[in-house]
């Protein structure tokens, strides 16, 4: 059998450069800090939003992550 349906060599994949990865790493880092603030601190001593809406949305997440909220 001279020809195979499955290629015997894998195509070369270029490595991801650090300069291409840096903006995504910064974006994910900022997003995680915002989520950490919303889950851990919002409606506590500091509050960006009025009322208890954000607190109620994040309530189970606070307990899951070990943040005291009441």
Q: What is the pLDDT of residues 13-27, one digit of tens each?
A: 888 888 989 999 999
**Residue 3, domain member (yes or no):** no
User: Quick one: pLDDT at residue 32?
Assistant: 92
Q: What SS3 class is residue 55?
A: helix
> Domain of 55?
18-64
**Residue 1, domain member (yes or no):** no
pTM of structure: 0.58
**Residue 33, domain member (yes or no):** yes
**Nearest-angstrom CA–CA distance, 24 and 33:** 14
Q: Residue 46: beta bridge partners? A: 42
Residue 65 above 90 pLDDT? no
**Residue 50, domain member (yes or no):** yes
> Within the chain, where are the H helices?
18-40, 53-65
For the chain, the average pLDDT equals: 79
24 C-beta neighbours (distance < 10 Å), count? 10
Q: What SS3 class is residue 70?
A: coil
**Residue 25, domain member (yes or no):** yes
């Amino acid at each position: 059998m001279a020809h195979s349906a499955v290629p015997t060599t894998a195509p070369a994949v270029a490595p991801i450069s650090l300069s291409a990865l840096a903006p995504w790493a910064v974006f994910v880092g900022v997003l995680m800090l915002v989520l950490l603030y919303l889950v851990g601190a919002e409606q506590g001593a500091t509050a960006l939003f009025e009322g208890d809406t954000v607190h109620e949305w994040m309530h189970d997440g606070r307990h899951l992550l070990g943040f005291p909220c009441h």
